[in-house]
């Protein structure tokens, strides 16, 4: 048996095309050009690639993508002032501070300072709170991208047992919140799951994963999840992007998963492109709400 490959790249391209059409219509109706500002502090190579990809995607969708590059030795006060300036700038609709910040900077204080109306990452406590209460304004980009992927491949989530492996604020926790909600961004079929939020200290992790109809792997450990840990026919969503030598691998051993699962996301070309597509969608939503 060989699983279906869930093509995140193609799905993201389709979503980006829809967003580009939405932007064209918004501007034709007299709206301002949506504008996303990325703040990149330091020289982290992976962050530089991510930010460049986000900016390119913005341009292709008709969204203005601005970048503030700050040196790694930037102090907290300078960064806080930049966030305050961007909050006050009416031409800016979305603010994204690329993580991780260099050591010595207080990430939490920076994220807390972003105006929730411009918080297109959905990292601020206000937006996290709305999600927790089942009434999100902005959807967190990676979890929302995963929901879109499942929806567009007609993989029902309602009533299924989803095991999310990884409890990060960016992926694991918001993923669990979205899937357990009564309604989802693509309707109730993409929500109403029974969710287990597992992590590195979960006892008998392999046994827990083996119970999953759908596995979302977001632990950041290369190929940690093996084929033998999966229930036959499971759907496997791999959020991991790990560099091993000159290869990029996920948190799941892809070749083994392909032999056991019914559907698997590749790395790269799976979840990553969807995260960017969702960011564009959030920026357009922010522009529309700020302009109205
Ligand atoms: N670093 C890794 N993923 C993300 C993300 O989704 N948003 C931001 N701002 N930084 C990140």
Measure Cα distances from 131 to 55, 128, 164, 199, 234 in Å.
Answer: 26, 5, 17, 21, 27
pLDDT 10s digits, 162-176? 999 999 999 999 999
Convert the pLDDT of each residue in 210-244 to its tens digit: 999 999 999 999 999 999 999 999 999 999 999 99
Domain ranges in the chain are 31-115, 140-272
The pLDDT value recorded for residue 233 is: 98
Can you give the pLDDT at residue 1? 66
Q: For 72-108, what is each residue's pLDDT tens digit? A: 999 999 999 999 999 999 999 999 999 999 999 999 9
Reported in sequence order, the residue ranges of 146-270 that DSSP labels E, i.e. its strands, are 161-165, 194-198, 214-217, 235-238, 242-244, 247-249, 263-264
170 ligand 1 Cβ < 6 A = yes
Cα 37 to ligand 1 centroid, rounded to whole Å: 13
Average pLDDT over residues 34-61: 97
Tell me which H or E stretch contains 40. strand 35-41
Catalytic sites, residue numbers: 54, 98, 121
On the question of a common fold for 31-115 and 140-272, the answer reads yes
The sign one gets for the Cα dihedral 271, 273, 274, 278 is positive
Q: Residue 141 has what DSSP assignment? A: H
3-class SS shares of the chain: helix, strand, coil, % to 5? 45, 15, 40
Amino acid 149: pLDDT: 98
CA of 243 to the centre of ligand 1 (A): 17
Q: For ligand 1, is residue 208 a contact (CB within 6 Å)? A: no
- pLDDT tens track for 114-150: 999 999 999 999 999 999 999 999 999 999 999 999 9
Question: Which 3 state secondary structure label does DSSP give 175?
Answer: helix
Fold of 140-272: Rossmann fold (3.40.50)
Could you tell me if the CB of 241 is within 6 A of ligand 1?
no
Residue 282's pLDDT is what?
98
Contacts of 112 (CB under 8 A, 6+ apart): 124, 125
Cβ–ligand 1 contact at 95 (below 6 Å): no
Give the global pTM: 0.97
For ligand 1, whether the C-beta of 97 sits within 6 Å is yes
CB 222 within 8 A of CB 254: no
Q: Where does 31-115 sit in CATH, by number?
A: 3.40.50.10860
Q: Which atom of ligand 1 is least distant from the CA of 141?
A: 6
Output the CA 99–ligand 1 centroid distance in Å.
5
Is the complex ipTM higher than 0.90?
yes
Minimal-distance CA residue to ligand 1 atom 4: 99
């Amino acid at each position: 048996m060989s699983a279906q490959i869930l093509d995140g790249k193609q799905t993201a391209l389709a979503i980006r095309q829809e967003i580009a059409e939405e932007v064209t219509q918004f501007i034709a109706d007299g709206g301002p050009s949506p504008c996303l500002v990325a703040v990149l502090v330091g020289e982290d190579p992976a962050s530089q690639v991510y930010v460049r990809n986000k900016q390119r995607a913005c341009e292709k969708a008709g969204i203005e993508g601005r970048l503030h590059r700050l040196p790694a030795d930037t102090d907290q006060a300078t960064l806080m002032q930049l966030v305050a300036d961007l909050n006050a700038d009416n031409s800016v609709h979305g603010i994204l501070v690329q993580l991780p910040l260099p050591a010595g900077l207080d990430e939490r204080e920076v994220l807390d300072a972003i105006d929730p109306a411009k918080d297109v990452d959905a990292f601020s406590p206000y937006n996290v709170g709305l999600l927790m209460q089942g009434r999100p304004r902005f959807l967190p980009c990676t979890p929302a991208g995963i929901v879109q992927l499942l929806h567009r491949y007609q993989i029902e989530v309602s009533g299924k047992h989803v095991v999310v492996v990884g409890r990060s604020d960016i992926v694991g926790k918001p993923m669990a919140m979205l899937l357990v909600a009564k309604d989802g961004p693509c309707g109730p079929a993409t929500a109403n799951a029974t969710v287990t939020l597992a992590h590195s200290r979960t006892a008998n992790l392999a046994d827990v994963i083996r119970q999953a109809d759908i596995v979302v792997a977001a632990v950041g450990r290369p190929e940690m999840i093996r084929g033998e840990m999966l229930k036959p026919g499971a759907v496997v969503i791999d959020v991991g992007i790990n560099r091993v030598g000159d290869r990029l691998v996920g948190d799941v051993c892809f070749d083994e998963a392909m032999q056991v699962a019914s559907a698997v996301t590749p790395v790269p070309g799976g979840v990553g492109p969807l995260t960017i597509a969702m960011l564009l969608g959030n920026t357009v939503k922010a522009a529309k709400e700020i302009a109205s």
